[in-house]
Structure 1
Amino acid sequence: MPDLLNMLVDSGAIKYGEFVLSSGKKSSVYIDIKLAVTNPEILETVAGMMAEKLKSVDFDRIACIELGGVPLAVALSLKTKKPLVIFRKKKKEYGTQEEFIGDIDRGDRIVVVEDVITTGKSAKSVVERVEKAGGKVVRVIAVVDREESDLTPVSLLRLSDILSQSKFQ
């Protein structure tokens, strides 16, 4: 399996400089998984690695929040043959006014997929919404865990992994 860190670096998804993250925090490293997974080879690699890490997890569905989690959840759904649920950041005020796309049956075991976890706010929002809909979150998985939240996600890479590879800076 190709080395994910090298793939992210080669794609330009890991940037060094001064950045403000969606959480409002400042960081010298920006990790743009949205950009990276526009490359089908990287997306396929991520989905394969996630599927491997979830091999021993008994789950019924995959959930994500738009936008960053969508390609990841779709690719993982194709890999695992599990249906997915896409949560909207904000409930629609028109049409069916649905909060999410897909189905959650009472008791469904759900894996929440994220691109990058910093504070965990987005992932926690999905967890709460899954539970409100009757599901049970059995795992949170992310491509990169910035190791700043109180969540303990399964991750493919941690920020400390990236920073320890000084040749990339």
Structure 2
Amino acid sequence: MTTDDVLDEFRAAGALREGHFVLSSGLHSPVFLQKNLVFAQPDRCARLCKALADLIVEKVGKPDLCISPAVGGIIPGYETARQLGVTSLYVEREGGEFKLRRGFQVEPGDRVVMVEDIVTTGLSSRECIAAINAAGATVIAAACIVDRSGGKADVGVPLIALATLDVPAYPADALPPELAAIPVQDPGSRRLSK
């Protein structure tokens, strides 16, 4: 599956939006990928995650587990694990840090692929990977449906992306005039302060 194929899936789901958006990273962008519209459609989600699972096996072999950050990574993490035939776990924030909870455990030496939905800066991926390492497993790679950093995000391990885009993202105090002239739209993933 190519980047164009992935974008076609997002377009077909009405999930590729243009305007002025505040991303969950806090950065502003003219493009927003409303991934939940894609993940709400089981057939579409399965196609994307099957392609991601195949790419993971091609790049690093079959892992023992897939672990994702809650909440955004749970659906693609689960479906990618299902396609790989491995267990799916997720980390949640507790006291401001990601941790395995709900009785989830890893064994020392477990080979884990951390699965995300979309990577922009890589911050949540790095935090998730740190939690997995702290629990005793070995993260062999990170994987995502879309790397919107254009390959620039450093997550500390190899990043396997089904699609790679170079979508601009700006701090609030460094918006280009053409983006600043457009009212901010609330994409639903980050509550805008009124």
Unaligned 5+ segments in structure 2 are: 168-194
Quick check: 1:82 aligned with 2:83?
Answer: no
CA distance in 2, matches of 1:123, 1:160: 18
Equivalent residue pairs, number: 156
- Look at both structures and tell me which one has the larger radius of gyration over its CA atoms: 2
1:62 aligned to 2:63?
A: no
What does the per-residue CA deviation read over 1:81-105, in whole Å, with 9 as the maximum and x for residues that have no partner? Answer: 111221013369xxxxx74342210
Alignment of structure 1 residues 1-169 onto 2, 5 Å: 3-56=5-58, 57-58=60-61, 59-90=63-94, 99-101=100-102, 102-147=104-149, 148-151=152-155, 152-160=158-166
- Between the aligned residues of both structures, percent identity stands at 26
5+ residue gaps in structure 1?
93-97, 162-169
SS at match of 1:22: coil
Q: 1:138 offset after TM fit, Å?
A: 0.3
Structure 1 runs, 4 residues or longer, greater than 6 Å off: none
Partners of 2:135 and 2:20 in 1: CA distance:
39
Counterparts of 1:66 and 1:114, CA distance in 2: 9
Across the aligned residues of Structure 1 and Structure 2, the Cα RMSD in angstroms comes to: 2.1
> For 1:38 and 1:91, how far apart are their aligned partners in 2?
30
Greater relative contact order structure (CA < 8 Å, 6+ sep):
2
Superimposed CA distance per residue, residues 59-113 of structure 1 (whole angstroms, 9 cap, x where no aligned partner): 2110001111111111112111111221013369xxxxx7434221011110000
**So what's the TM-score if we normalise by structure 2?**
0.74
Aligned to 1:88, the other structure's residue is in SS state strand
